[in-house]
Amino acid sequence: MQFTALQIAQLTAGTVEGNAHVAVASFGKIEEAKEGQLTFFANPKYEDFLYRTKASIVIINDTYELKQQVPATLIRVPDAYTAFATLLSKYQEIMQLQLIGIQEPGYRAKTACYGQNVFIGAFTYLGEHVKIGDNCKIFPQVYLGDNVSIGDNCIIHPGVKIYADCKVGNQVTIHAGSVIGSDGFGFAPQADGSLKKVPQIGNVIIEDLVEIGSNTTIDRATIGSTIIKSGAKLDNLIQIAHNVEIGNRTVIAAQAGISGSTKIGNGVMIGGQAGIVGHIQIADGSKINAQAGLGKSLKIPGSVVTGSPAYDYNKAIRSQSLARNLPEMEKRIKELEALVKQLLKEKIA
């Protein structure tokens, strides 16, 4: 499938500089792209490749001033990275539209139902009263437990397990190996030292436009719901515990862990390997640096914390700077102590 520079410009609200009729059929990195491919330039580190690329079309910011001639046709847009992402999404959408139909073998309960233009891969399991919306792609070896509902235009990648009673909204993507609705980690200590399991009878609700990376686990609530709100983006290998709420458009990087009943606000950014204790609240717009250990609520919107235990980012950076200067400070203190002793001796004499 080919697209001309003019067609791409129309899709991205861009303007063409060069041959508007040159066509591309695939994508490439700016340093490796070949003739007939589309690439983009957004990072100044790759500026040298802009003037040497073999790509036929390059998407570029409309504010960028060229230092020399570029051999490729340019499409100028307000944000090259966003425009390129839009094109990749369109390309993926077109390719996935070709996936329609029901593969065998598989199990589908008589009460399970699905909408139009769906793809259901081989070895899938659809439990009782499962509902799948229009234009969904359910890839092989997916398990959907009883009463699971999935909205329109969702992509559920191979090996995903969604336990009973969980709800998935529209335009949700869940990547391979993720588990949605496994039991929350709840055990009651007994007098004899044993641990009695607390039944987890809630569910997980995933709202619209959420993306969940591979091998992420989201536990069902003890009572009520664990909720991932609209527009949230979760990386691979994340643990979300029971009754957690993740706010709208919040992003969480790989290997982070969120303990039970913590409420995370809107637009929060959580770095990789961050650990967050349970039963706290994180205000809108907060940023938690990678490997931070957060043990208390962040009540002020826009808070930025780092370290373990996590505390204010600016104070942490100043503390680190002072720590690096400790050897020199120690030397100066010893010199001052020696000087004070000398002055005291002279005064006594």
DSSP 222: S
Structural tokens at position 117: 């233009």
Tell me how far CA of residue 29 lies from CA of 117, 165, 169, 172, in angstroms.
33, 43, 34, 27
Helices (H), the chain: 5-12, 47-50, 80-97, 313-324, 326-348
Do residues 140 and 156 make contact, with C-beta atoms less than 8 angstroms apart?
no
Average pLDDT of 214-230?
98
pLDDT reported for residue 349: 64
Residue 191 belongs to what domain range?
A: 160-309
- What contacts 89, CB < 8 A, 6 or more positions away? none
**27: domain CATH number?**
3.40.1390.10
Summarised one tens digit per residue, pLDDT across range 232-243 is: 999 999 999 999
Question: Is the same domain home to 276 and 184?
Answer: yes
Q: Phi first, then psi: what are they for 141, rounded to 5°? A: 65, 25
User: Does residue 112 form part of some domain?
Assistant: no
Amino acid at 2: Q
Q: pTM (2 decimals)?
A: 0.81
Q: pLDDT of 312-331, one tens digit each?
A: 878 877 887 777 888 888 88
Known catalytic residues are: 242
Asked if pLDDT for residue 311 goes beyond 70, the answer is no
Neighbours of 224 (CB within 10 A): 15
Q: Checking DSSP bridges between strand 225-228 and strand 251-252, what pairing results, if any? A: unpaired
Which of these, 4, 13, 127, lies nearest to 73 by C-alpha position? 4
Judgement on whether residues 336 and 214 belong to the same structural domain of the protein: no
Residues 200 and 288 both lie in one domain: yes
Residue 304 makes CB contacts below 8 A (sequence gap 6+) with 286, 287, 289, 312, 313, 314
Do 92 and 195 reside in the same domain of the chain?
no
Single out the residue in 43, 67, 97 at which a domain terminates. Answer: 97
Question: How far is it, in rounded angstroms, from Cα 336 to Cα 1?
Answer: 77
Q: Are residues 64 and 168 in the same domain?
A: no
- Is the domain of 91 the same as that of 180? no
The SS3 assignment for 319 reads helix
Burial class (CB in 10 A: 0-12, 13-18, 19+), 107: exposed
Within this chain, do residues 288 and 168 fall inside the same structural domain, yes or no? yes
Q: How confident is the model at residue 345 (pLDDT cuts 50, 70, 90)?
A: confident
Digit-coded pLDDT (tens) for 196-213: 999 999 999 999 999 999
Maximum distance among all alpha carbons in the chain? 104
Q: What is the pLDDT of residues 155-205, one digit of tens each?
A: 999 999 999 999 999 999 999 999 999 999 999 999 999 999 999 999 999
- How far is residue 61 from each of residues 18, 66, 141, measured CA to CA in Å? 15, 11, 42
pLDDT at 119 over 90: yes
- At residue 97, φ and ψ (nearest 5 deg) are -65, -20
Residues 297 and 329 in one domain: no
Classify residue 317 as left (phi > 0), alpha (psi -120 to 50) or beta.
Answer: alpha
CATH number for position 243: 2.160.10.10
Number of domains in the chain: 3
Confidence bin at 96 (pLDDT 50/70/90): confident
109 is a domain residue: no
The answer to whether residue 170 is domain-embedded is yes
